[in-house]
Structure 1
């Protein structure tokens, strides 16, 4: 029997031999896509994938022989060797930054919540340098030594340094740089955040006619670098506050997977949720804002409506993503697909078998497990970017810079597109300051903004659901909520497909955090894409573990067809 070194070498040679055959297909932009995934999907997919069982030796009526068990053990070892070699051979990915951390010696462009600040909200230099040093060290002791401005704890910074035994290494996944502090793009994103706060209580059913929605569309259309979707060059009620995929722009604002009943075991469960009362906004004055930056206890508490209802407003959506568990929305999507009898993916191997069906593999247990398992890895991958690379400030923090700039208390380099916007005027008219009113009493959480953790884990979960279900299936009997969320009404319009509504679900969950005031548009869009890369890496590793002959197939957020 060959020793471990020989097996490892054989696995490496298998990777190299298969690499020349170009067996991993992602459509016309294959190489760029693989680079964005960090290379693991490419390398792992090139390893011979499915574990076809070898004929048993000896009498099949007897338990497996020692030879059979030894052969199985060797195969199990080789699967892990192949995966390790694929990970080792993945090209190292460069992750660019926006340069804000080195551009501003007073750290105005960087996250600093829970650290001590002066009266202008400028973080203590010593405290921030201790925070950056802790991010470089990656130890519990270093983070314990970061000075605090209040009682708020940093949210799980050590997750940024965790390893993974499935999928891509969290430290080797591409993410583009977020917009810089002084850019026109971030100015447009800040204006969008202000508009989110202004229209939180407008029903989605009224988006076509509400004056504030129309004002938001006009204002955002005038920004020189707003990258949200447009129609004919302008932001419209049918595009405002949506994601950028085809699914996002088709049909109603909310995904069917946030509205349709779910089959939870033997029980059909309607998606009725507890939500907060209109005008439940927090931290809308400068003193409140400053206390929250230091990490002091929030003032006020949430007021709830008496009865659960369907998600009907931006505030409802913001509350849905306040205390959800990481795979909640995508698990609900799976349960809704089961309830509506949606077909599995055309590539499911049991479509071609008549004497057997899927269960632990390619059945409901497999799907629900995989949707759940990618969520934690997605979060750890996002946390790596948040703490060790970008340390991007939150919209909440940026709004304090806007406030002090407009009042001539500081000369922060904020783009004039924002300073001259209607969003600024409307926020001041309603709340008497330029800070960003929050939907949550505590405001944003105590970890950097980019990318959004919610966007990343829902992007990963949605990608898994796409791999297991038929994306082209048209959802039967689609619905929309009425204005007060008390009932669902029939939707009339173009057909809604599983793939399109999954894309929309990813955007809804991500942008729901923007409605709350805690994230930016790029946190959402790029977080979805990062989660997709994480999920593809996991699917690639898992493919080598199954005896079935199959490929995973799915469509990315950017419209590429991927075959694993």
Structure 2
């Protein structure tokens, strides 16, 4: 792969050819109107690889296209031949994936030659099945739900999304609980509100995502993607609290002779141990009570413990704020280990940087496993339509409908969601990451030869740069980068802004030294997994308060003799906090103890289980936006893609059970969803038959047609 000279010179007319030479669109590979289908068509392959070999050395300004890991010239342009080689490898799908790593060496650190590799570029999603309705359990493959097209380069929506990421970078070290009264948050909220998109969103998809954000409110900035986002503290209780510890009596060794030990908190092996925190740690965490409480933030995992505290990335330490580092990262420099900096002490999630740290290192379904362990340890009931579990006179849940079942399902559906998201990332369009879009904005803002290097993309970036400048966001981010670069100047001995200057340095500060992952945008794997796993949690556990006289267990909510959408089964939601609930009140990190303890949240309404699970999905998803590696539309759409993957998954799981069963929950759009399973009659060759019923907020729907419309709502 070509090594470019380190110092930029004015681009020639030949070198300013843009990615239109490869028939790429402003948002990536041109797929025509509509959403992508997750695969390359013959026409797209021919268009993308049709350059004559003599054109391979043309430099393309492809800042709207994912080119990370390829070689880039000093202006950030990529060789046409290198991009063509990447597309050829993606479309031939040969296991060798013949795309050489960048071998030109890197400046930061000097002399480094370790390049990163593309991450799962040939991932193929596992086929989903949708059970038939012929009573014989006929099934057929169905494509995984797809995302709609990304906002176009130069559009008001993409400009607003970049504005949100700039604002998020400026707020990274301000505790969430201070946002409501913070002058910086208030100013940034006003600056975002000045952007055209927030005043009048154009197009149905853009308008839908604008409506989801609600009013721009400093206390809830970037929130509103799911029901429950804006109720209570910014961070979900499932990312803060833990389980209660119990002091069990010894039935065999007492002064008064044998006596019955206190009932264990659960019959499941994962959570029935009364004590699970070693005594020295118990004393360290709590001084007034002997037993660990939920606000100690320790999760029970059998006889082991999981702490909700961790050491986050170091406050004020942002990366890729100078051009030389940005260029190294685009060329694939592996900076993961050399430049990570962390706080000295562990604390609860307090700031956006803390949340970004969590989603930097989390395993696939970590947050959702923790949520399940919290609910299991608190003996929260499972959905009353499941055939086993608490309340059944003779059957308890274990391999089916017990702790082992829910934890294994989270891993399974999480992997389905991950492969689905990953496969569409490397399909058309190859959407650029925010770090590349910000570089295009910075080049346009600089003017002169820097702007000329953008070729035909220049008018699009100029429009974005103009709106962001008028809002005041670009001057604020330039000042932040100037401050960051004082630190990096001390580290490197110099700062290299390349074609930029200090007053045009609109590079997007990154929490992660390596910037984005080595795969394109157009969807968020974190958000897709979050949507899928939280949907499974909402279906498995009881989300609603059952009316008096309702059987606790084993009664599917819909049979042929009952009316559709019985309001009693979608009544008031179960409470997570308040009188008689799992928590006495919501909690937030306590500033008086350097955020290492939890305290009762001030002026907070009581929270529901379903709302806090929704908030958990939203927090994990938008945590990647706080890091600077993903955008709001990816966060919003991927949550809903994951939700639909989970519904197909749950439909299959209920059918495999061969028992009358049902689950129900509210969707991320507020619809009521019920999945029901009817077993075959004894001796029949047929298998179980499942259906999905969806009703809108007004109770309309409940048919298969309504479900199909819901499934395709966000395509």
Provide TM-score, normalisation by structure 2. 0.62
Q: Describe the shift of the 1:440–1:428 C-alpha distance in structure 2 as closer, same or farther (beyond 3 A).
A: same
> 1:243 & 1:507 partners in 2: Cα distance?
9
Asked if structure 2 preserves the Cα contact closer than 8 Å seen for 1:182 and 1:413, the reply is yes
Give 1:329 shift: 0.6
Pairing 1:550–2:661 present: yes
Asked if structure 1 preserves the Cα contact closer than 8 Å seen for 2:430 and 2:522, the reply is yes
- The equivalent of 1:474 in structure 2 is 575
> 1:110 & 1:272 partners in 2: Cα distance?
38
Pairing 1:140–2:121 present: no
> What does residue range 159-308 of structure 1 map to in structure 2 within 5 Å?
159=123, 161-164=124-127, 171-226=143-198, 234-261=215-242, 262-267=299-304, 269-298=306-335, 301-308=339-346
Asked if structure 2 preserves the Cα contact closer than 8 Å seen for 1:179 and 1:185, the reply is yes
Pairing 1:379–2:334 present: no
Asked if structure 2 preserves the Cα contact closer than 8 Å seen for 1:171 and 1:384, the reply is no
Aligned partner of residue 428 in structure 2, secondary structure? helix
Aligned partner of residue 196 in structure 2, secondary structure? coil
Give 1:485 shift: 2.0
Size of the aligned set, in residue pairs, is 468
> 1:446 & 1:305 partners in 2: Cα distance?
26
Asked if structure 2 preserves the Cα contact closer than 8 Å seen for 1:275 and 1:319, the reply is yes
- The equivalent of 2:250 in structure 1 is none
Pairing 1:485–2:595 present: yes
- The equivalent of 2:108 in structure 1 is none
Q: Describe the shift of the 1:169–1:284 C-alpha distance in structure 2 as closer, same or farther (beyond 3 A).
A: farther
Which of residues 151, 155, 158 in structure 1 aligns to 2:119?
155
> 1:530 & 1:232 partners in 2: Cα distance?
18
Which of residues 345, 351, 372 in structure 2 aligns to 1:313?
351
1:250-303 residue CA offsets vs partner (Å, 9 max, x unmatched):
111000110111221134544111212211211111121111111124395222
Give 1:232 shift: 11
Q: Describe the shift of the 1:412–1:493 C-alpha distance in structure 2 as closer, same or farther (beyond 3 A).
A: same
Asked if structure 2 preserves the Cα contact closer than 8 Å seen for 1:315 and 1:516, the reply is yes
Give 1:173 shift: 2.1
Give 1:127 shift: 1.0
Give 1:366 shift: 0.7
- The equivalent of 1:95 in structure 2 is 36
- The equivalent of 1:413 in structure 2 is 460
Q: Describe the shift of the 1:377–1:219 C-alpha distance in structure 2 as closer, same or farther (beyond 3 A).
A: same
Q: Describe the shift of the 1:440–1:232 C-alpha distance in structure 2 as closer, same or farther (beyond 3 A).
A: closer
> What does residue range 358-507 of structure 1 map to in structure 2 within 5 Å?
358-408=397-447, 409-410=450-451, 411-414=458-461, 415=464, 416-432=466-482, 433-471=505-543, 472-475=573-576, 476-477=583-584, 478-483=586-591, 484-491=594-601, 492-507=603-618
Which of residues 360, 381, 390 in structure 2 aligns to 1:343?
381
- The equivalent of 1:331 in structure 2 is 369
Asked if structure 2 preserves the Cα contact closer than 8 Å seen for 1:112 and 1:393, the reply is yes
Asked if structure 2 preserves the Cα contact closer than 8 Å seen for 1:254 and 1:508, the reply is yes
Asked if structure 1 preserves the Cα contact closer than 8 Å seen for 2:417 and 2:528, the reply is yes
Give 1:234 shift: 4.0
Give 1:182 shift: 1.1
Asked if structure 2 preserves the Cα contact closer than 8 Å seen for 1:248 and 1:500, the reply is yes
Q: Describe the shift of the 1:105–1:372 C-alpha distance in structure 2 as closer, same or farther (beyond 3 A).
A: same
> 2:79 & 2:468 partners in 1: Cα distance?
27
Q: Which has the larger radius of gyration?
A: 2
Asked if structure 1 preserves the Cα contact closer than 8 Å seen for 2:127 and 2:144, the reply is no
RMSD (Å), alpha carbons: 2.6
Aligned partner of residue 316 in structure 1, secondary structure? helix
Asked if structure 1 preserves the Cα contact closer than 8 Å seen for 2:417 and 2:645, the reply is yes
Q: Describe the shift of the 1:217–1:301 C-alpha distance in structure 2 as closer, same or farther (beyond 3 A).
A: same
Give 1:215 shift: 1.5
Aligned partner of residue 326 in structure 1, secondary structure? coil
Aligned partner of residue 144 in structure 1, secondary structure? coil
Q: Describe the shift of the 1:237–1:451 C-alpha distance in structure 2 as closer, same or farther (beyond 3 A).
A: same
> 2:509 & 2:128 partners in 1: Cα distance?
41
> 1:233 & 1:155 partners in 2: Cα distance?
35
> 2:460 & 2:425 partners in 1: Cα distance?
23
- The equivalent of 1:509 in structure 2 is 620
> 2:157 & 2:574 partners in 1: Cα distance?
37
Give 1:183 shift: 0.5
Q: Which moved more, 1:271-280 or 1:367-376?
A: 271-280
Asked if structure 2 preserves the Cα contact closer than 8 Å seen for 1:243 and 1:525, the reply is no
- The equivalent of 1:44 in structure 2 is none
Aligned partner of residue 322 in structure 1, secondary structure? helix
> 1:453 & 1:149 partners in 2: Cα distance?
30
1:204-243 residue CA offsets vs partner (Å, 9 max, x unmatched):
1111112221122111112222477789974112320224
- Structure 1 spans left out of the alignment, 5+ residues: 1-92
Aligned partner of residue 208 in structure 1, secondary structure? helix
Greater relative contact order structure (CA < 8 Å, 6+ sep): 1
Pairing 1:125–2:85 present: no
> 1:164 & 1:335 partners in 2: Cα distance?
29
- The equivalent of 2:30 in structure 1 is none
Whose helix fraction is larger, Structure 1's or Structure 2's? 1
Asked if structure 1 preserves the Cα contact closer than 8 Å seen for 2:531 and 2:642, the reply is yes
Runs of 4+ with >6 A deviation: 101-105, 146-150, 165-170, 227-233
